[in-house]
Amino acid sequence: MSDQSLEGAAALVTGAGGGIGAATARRLAREGATVALLARRRDRLWQVASDIADLGGHAVAVEADLTEPERADDAVQEALDRLGRLDILVNNAGVMLLNSALHTTLDEWDRMVSLNIRALLHVTHAAVPHLIYAASTSPRQVADLVNVGSTAGRAARPGNSVYSLTKAGLNAFTESLRQELLGERVRVSVVEPGAVDTEPMNHLGGAVRETPGALRAEDVADAIGYVVTRDRRVAVDQMLVRAGGRSW
């Protein structure tokens, strides 16, 4: 049971076209939030919005490539214009391209840095003032910023050097931002899943592509839903979520 209803709250979820993002959007909608879905593919966004409507919720689709700073800022503003406010931001957009330094390309490394780090910064910078305003004006008296990290941010393994770099950096960024926004009643959290059976797993090579016993996207969405529905006296700063039968 949730401590705090999200009725009347507005949430923005990046990477909401599928996987963890779509599952999180559906979970927040079930808790009562209106959700802005942000991703590059319009067809997928409309499908998720339709799923949420079937659940009795409401979602709007915002198509954007977040690796472009101006478009990221415009996308946050579009979400704000259509929802009227912004109480929750879930930074979920990301990509995992695993390979050794010998065999990868600089383009693959750049793609991970662009989406996993630069897009995160663009969206966060645009959203923070609106989260602060929401915390001071909403019945919840709190706002939430949740970054989706990874166990790779804690333990580097062969083939995931730059992916781990981006997720370790996300952890440091999240902790610093958490301390900065304490006085503004904006809770900043990181949820770090282990292996999840979602589309990013298709970017893995070899036998790693098969993920028996992996988490489901809904498992991570449940964790995010738990974080943002705590009473305002409670802040869940970090949550590490692994599949019961896996070591990572």
> For residues 9 and 33, is the Cβ–Cβ distance under 8 A?
yes
Query: In 3D, which of 57, 95, 64, 94 has the Cα closest to residue 79?
Result: 64
Encode burial over 37-71: b for 16+ CB neighbours within 10 A, e otherwise.
Answer: bbbeeeebbebbbeebeeeebebbbbbbebbeeeb
> For residues 97 and 104, is the Cβ–Cβ distance under 8 A?
yes
Please name the residue ranges forming H helices in the chain: 19-30, 42-54, 69-83, 106-113, 119-137, 161-180, 217-228
- Cα separation, 154 vs 174, whole angstroms: 14
Is 133 a catalytic site residue? Answer: no
Q: Which of 88, 116, 145, 163 is catalytic?
A: 163
Place of tokens 């781990």: 164
- DSSP bridge partners of 187: 144
Q: Beta 88-91 vs 143-148: how paired, if at all? A: parallel
Output the CA torsion sign for 17, 23, 29, 35.
negative
Amino acid present at 95: V
DSSP state of 68: S
- Catalogue the active-site residues: 163
